[in-house]
């Protein structure tokens, strides 16, 4: 699915789907679409608008590529809290995202051997998922961008501690500038 509107869809369910690609699609701004595909081996997900979908169990996942865009992503705290927990009921990014008791993305991606996790630094959903201490037992290759550097290299530390067989780590710095004096 490319450049589509998934706003009114409560969930995507397929017990037999092996590969799923959802790129530059619009999701609902206040509720999360649920994706259930237990036989999925490959996932490409680019959230362009709305909240990142809630992933259900994907025990056979090998490759995952998740990109969270900044332009209209609803998982951004207006009070600039890094974990989406500002407590302000008027913050549309945080409201409804706290206290649900489960990981949105990372826990369901934990069986992958190859992951690409890219996001604009303001989007908090990856950082919020760290609180669930998922172990990536099979992860060998990981790519992420500068979101992992804030705050205090937390994501980098998290993945290094929770990926015991990682062989290759790539940090793609897209928005860093070199200042020459």
Output the average pLDDT for the chain: 78
Closest CA to 140 of 109, 113, 110: 113
pLDDT, one tens digit per residue, over 127-138 is 677 777 689 999
62 pLDDT tier (thresholds 50, 70, 90): very high
- CA–CA distance, 35 with 21 (Å, rounded to integer): 12
Record the pTM. 0.79
Q: What are phi and psi of 109, to 5 degrees?
A: -95, 0
């Amino acid at each position: 699915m490319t450049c589509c509107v998934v706003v009114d869809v409560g969930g995507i369910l397929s017990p037999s789907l092996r590969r799923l690609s959802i790129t530059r699609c619009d999701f609902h701004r206040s509720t999360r679409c649920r994706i259930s595909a237990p036989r999925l081996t490959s996932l490409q997900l680019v959230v362009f608008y709305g909240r990142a979908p809630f992933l259900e169990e994907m025990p056979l996942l090998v490759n995952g590529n998740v990109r969270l865009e900044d332009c209209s992503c609803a998982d951004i705290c207006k009070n600039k809290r890094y974990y989406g927990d500002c407590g302000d009921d008027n913050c549309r990014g945080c409201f409804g995202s706290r206290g649900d008791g489960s990981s949105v993305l990372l826990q369901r991606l934990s069986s992958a051997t190859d992951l690409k996790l890219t996001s604009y630094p303001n989007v908090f959903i990856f950082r919020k998922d760290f609180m669930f201490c998922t172990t990536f037992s099979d992860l060998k290759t990981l790519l992420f961008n500068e979101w992992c550097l804030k705050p205090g290299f937390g994501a980098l530390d998290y993945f290094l501690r929770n990926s015991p067989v990682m062989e290759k780590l790539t940090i793609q710095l897209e928005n860093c500038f070199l200042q020459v004096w």
